[in-house]
Amino acid sequence: MAYLGALLPGLPTTPWVLLASYCFGKSSPRLQRWLKRSPFFGKLIRDWEEHGGIRRNVKILAVCMVCVACTFSASRTSLPDWVRIMIPCLGLVGISTILFVVPTVRDKS
C-alpha cells in the first residue's frame, strides 16, 4: 500500500510505511531490516523511530501532493457539488494534520 501511495495521489504513503515497519518489527525482524534499508522508505522510518517526526522537505512534498490531488479531484471530475466541496475541506484537514500535528525533525546543520 505504501508503494501505491507513493505513486497515486490521494493515497497516503507515510502511515502505511510506519504501519508496515511496526508490523514487521513484531512479526519478522528480517523484513523490518529490509524495509529500513529501502532507499525509498528507509530514511522516513528512521526519522520517525529516532526523532518521532518527519523532515521539513517531506512535509512540503506531502502538502504539495495533497493540494495537487484535491485540486485535480475537485475540478476535473463530474462529481456532485457537495462532494466537490468536501474534497478541499478534507484536504485542509490533511494539510493541517501534516503541518500542526506531525512533529518536524530538525536538520543537524
Q: Is residue 12 part of a domain?
A: yes
Is residue 47 domain-shared with residue 95, that is, in the same domain?
no
Q: Taking residues 11-34, what's their average pLDDT?
A: 81
CB atoms within 10 A of CB 31: 14
Q: pLDDT (tens digit, 9 = 90+) per residue, 56-94?
A: 998 998 899 888 888 888 888 788 889 889 988 988 998
Q: Is residue 109 part of a domain?
A: no
Of 3, 14, 7, which Cα lies nearest the Cα of 55?
14
> Which pLDDT belongs to residue 9?
62
Q: Is residue 93 part of a domain?
A: yes
Full-prediction pTM beyond 0.75?
no
Is residue 42 domain-shared with residue 58, that is, in the same domain?
no
> Which pLDDT belongs to residue 11?
66
Please give the Cα distance from 20 to 9 (Å, whole number).
20
